[in-house]
Amino acid sequence: MVKLGFVGAGFMGQVAHIRNYARLAEQGCCRLAALAEPRHDLAAAVARRYGIERLYATHRELIEHESLDALVVIQPFARHIHILPDLLPAGLPILTEKPLSLSVAAAETLVELGTRHRVVHMVGYNKRCDPAVMEARRLVQQWKASGEHGRMRFIRVSVAYPGDWRAGDLLGALSSTEPTPTDGLEPWPVEMGPVLGPRFRWFLDAHCHHLNLPRAFLERGETYRVAYAAPSGHLLVGESVQGITISVELAPYMTTSWREMILVGFEDACLEVHLPPPLAQVPGRVRVYREHHRMPPEPGATWEEPGVPYRFSLGEQARTFLSVVRGEAPPPVDAAEALEDIRTAYAYFRAPVDREVVDNRGMFAVPPAAGK
């Protein structure tokens, strides 16, 4: 049974992670052995609710006193560079939230440190564990191998803003009146300056998912370059190493509901994935369109919606991490891939367009209620 140690019990630490491992613990898949959380009252309440065995005030105390199989470290991403160098030398498999860090330099440091200590570092891009995304990925790999629908041409990711990412529910997260730790936060890259810096930080938090999703359908390790960054801040156009066109649409329109989709186009077929709000406990949907003009007896088009397991991305992410810890599967997204997302975001922001033309409604302006 996998013995887990947790670092952090804030809102996302609870609803996106601890509660899902607690469900798996009830099935005998893991043990919630220990939690490091400086807010004592909050830590005690979370431990009582989820059956966590031991508490520590700091991550250093946890790693010093516990014998664990893996770590789930759910912290603000700007703290990763200050916390992970204390944890990676232990050599344990580790799950952290996305993105990997706030700067390319910090991300490179973490990747190098993890490689040196042979750490399997899974980064929590939960959308990659959505059953609809996994089914779409399976179909894309099948079509590539068979050539039945010609060459893959195009990947489009589109998300509206702001959307109800919590699915209308705080999901019963515990809280306390204790102050939230704000120490050890990585500053934004100095070259971004005081205007782009905070916007870059918010953009990474909100949209690294959408920079990463195209990688689910490319070859493992295949990168893409930024070919165009719209001055409005609403469109990134990229090209993969193998010549696949990539379009990432960032808030092309405003909505109070959740609108997020992926389209993958081949010569004779395409598929769409419609994703639910990130905290909704439902899977996405897949729709497949096929053209049959090459196939006798008559040309025509068909579509279907393949069924997917009725599971949700965050629960599947927890299951997947346990499989990674047991050596049964590689991480859907590892630290090296997460580094590429930060490089892509950086290239997008530093693209040779006049950022001064971005108005206050653009994606490079931080909305009043931005962030989690």
- In the chain, the number of structural domains is 2
Q: In angstroms, rounded to a whole number, what is the distance separating the alpha carbons of residues 4 and 69?
A: 6
Using alpha carbons, select from 191, 196, 200 the residue that is nearest to residue 78: 200
Q: What is the amino acid identity at position 290? A: R
**How confident is the model at residue 119, as a pLDDT?**
98
Residue 55 lies in a domain: yes
Residue 99 burial (10 A CB sphere; 0-12, 13-18, 19+): buried
The secondary structure of 233-253 as a DSSP string is SSEEEEEETT--EEEEEEEEE
- State both tokens at 191: 């070259």
301 vs 83 pLDDT, higher one: 83
pLDDT at 356 over 60: no
Same domain, 138 and 74: no
pLDDT digits (tens, 9 = 90+) for 70-103: 999 999 999 999 999 999 999 999 999 999 999 9
Of 125, 149, 164, which marks where a domain is finished? 125
Tell me the whole-structure pTM to 2 decimals: 0.92
Residues in contact with 22: Cβ distance below 8 Å, sequence separation at least 6, in sequence order: 32, 50, 51
pLDDT at 369 over 80: no
Of 60, 90, 125, which marks where a domain is finished? 125
Lowest mean pLDDT among 5-9, 24-28, 221-225, 359-363: 359-363
Residues in contact with 194: Cβ distance below 8 Å, sequence separation at least 6, in sequence order: none
Confidence band of 163 (pLDDT split at 50, 70, 90): confident
pLDDT digits (tens, 9 = 90+) for 261-285: 999 999 999 999 999 999 999 999 9
Same domain, 94 and 134: no
CATH number at residue 36: 3.40.50.720
Q: In angstroms, rounded to a whole number, what is the distance separating the alpha carbons of residues 110 and 211?
A: 20
CATH number at residue 140: 3.30.360.10
Beta bridge partners of 274: 261, 285
Confidence band of 169 (pLDDT split at 50, 70, 90): low
Whole-number percent of the chain with pLDDT over 90: 78
pLDDT at 171 over 70: no
**Which residue bears the tokens 């997917």?**
308
**How confident is the model at residue 301, as a pLDDT?**
81
Cα→Cα distances 92→35, 108, 353, Å: 16, 19, 43
**How confident is the model at residue 168, as a pLDDT?**
67
Under 8 Å between Cβ of 269 and 144: no
Using alpha carbons, select from 257, 227, 233, 275 the residue that is nearest to residue 360: 233
Whole-number percent of the chain with pLDDT over 70: 91
Range of the domain at 302: 127-311+334-357
Confidence band of 349 (pLDDT split at 50, 70, 90): confident
Under 8 Å between Cβ of 262 and 155: yes
Of 106, 125, 144, which marks where a domain is finished? 125
**How confident is the model at residue 232, as a pLDDT?**
81
**How confident is the model at residue 55, as a pLDDT?**
98
pLDDT at 294 over 90: no
pLDDT digits (tens, 9 = 90+) for 225-267: 999 998 888 999 999 999 999 999 998 888 888 999 999 999 9
**How confident is the model at residue 293, as a pLDDT?**
62
Q: In angstroms, rounded to a whole number, what is the distance separating the alpha carbons of residues 50 and 107?
A: 32
| Mean of the per-residue pLDDT values of the chain | 91
CA angle 259, 265, 271 (to 5 degrees): 55
pLDDT digits (tens, 9 = 90+) for 44-76: 999 999 999 999 999 999 999 999 999 999 999
Same domain, 108 and 231: no
